[in-house]
Structure 1
Amino acid sequence: MLKLEGIHAHYGHIHALRGVSLQVPDGQIVSLLGSNGAGKSTTLKIISCLMRPKAGSFEIDGESMLSKSSSDLVARGIIHCPEGRRLFGEFTVEENLRIGAYKRKGGSEVEADIEKVCGYFPRLKERMRQRADTLSGGEQQMVAIGRSLMGRPKLLLLDEPSLGIAPKLVTEIFEILSQINAAGTSILLVEQNAYMAMKVSHYSYVLENGAVGLEGDSREMRDNDHVRKLYLGG
């Protein structure tokens, strides 16, 4: 589905990505791991067409996306759920969810998708009329993921879903990501919690200083001594 090849990106004189290549096959969860500043969020910006690479290729289903806009990517079913949730705090949970379907006509399909989101996140059904800025961090993350699902993504770009969330809710959210994937949505998961990311993903890439330092089957990566020492605390 998604293929990056030899991507270079800069912020002024800072060389943020140095020849990054990765793929997300249809129907899989792929995790993109690394420390702060490794280039994970920059990679998502390239894929979302929020930033243009200096060099390299970027394709979806074999078609180059280098000249496309963010709106074009949304129309192709590539939905970015950003770090920090970025909800409209003064809007209700329901209003935030409906914003995720802004490119779609209203009606029974949108209503059905709201019910589907509530099926993944039952507590949101109880919060529908509540302002988003009154929710806990974990509940806000559920709304952010739910809002992304309202766009009916083929590929969900998910940036740091565990950030600032209680461990119990982190486990719950990652279990739900597996359910979302099983229902047919591919996921590129950017995450500092390497253990949880590799637990739910099929394949993993580790970025180190803007380049892919390691990659492989997630289950095998969990047993890699280098990965265990640097990212799993053992």
Structure 2
Amino acid sequence: MADTQTEIDLDSVIDRLLEVRGNRPGKPVQLQEYEIKYLCTKAREIFINQPILLELEAPIKICGDIHGQYYDLLRLFEYGGFPPEANYLFLGDYVDRGKQSLETICLLLAYKIKYPENFFVLRGNHECASINRIYGFYDECKRRYNIKLWKTFTDCFNCLPIAAIIDEKIFTMHGGLSPDLQSMEQIRRVMRPTDVPDTGMHSSTPSFSVHPVHTPKPPHLSLPNEIPCVRPIM
């Protein structure tokens, strides 16, 4: 059997993931385990080699939570254009709750590998072992493959970027501005791989990480006043 260092036929993986278009929602795509491990390992390498705070340019389509709704993801691409017809930035929460987290995250990782400079995915609070251990992704991995594969995904998630700035004007992240965030340099200094802490600047605790977009700028925050924050509606 191939290992994670073996090149896979990436186009074949993408084609198989897209074959279910037009089918009734829920039809699974069962990739080989070694193919999924490769997607995680290769994507992790790309994430580490790109900044944790991405600096992107328009035009780019910004997308919120998918949460394992694979057929919604396919419809989104049908509406906005399948890569590379359009550039994309996803803001996190790809897994849990929905029934097809595996297909969802595998297609996103495959596109990231194929178009690393045109397709971007940020980390949400569900790309965290302590969260997706509870809300469905762990159980889906265990049922369809094994726990070891879930741990491989965790290693990949721990290297995802956490924010992006578009055209030096639009600041994007998953959950909102933390009161601990005083400058963009704080984000740039976050070392990966990293888990999501219980408290602090990039925690998954709602009282710390989720705030209205119109929250007043903290003192000395080195962001121009006109930069808006874009996040999904939770």
**Which bracket does the TM-score occupy, shorter chain normalised?**
under 0.3
Higher relative contact order structure (alpha carbons within 8 Å, sequence separation ≥ 6): 1
- More strand, by proportion: 1
Superposition TM-score, scaled by structure 2 size:
0.26
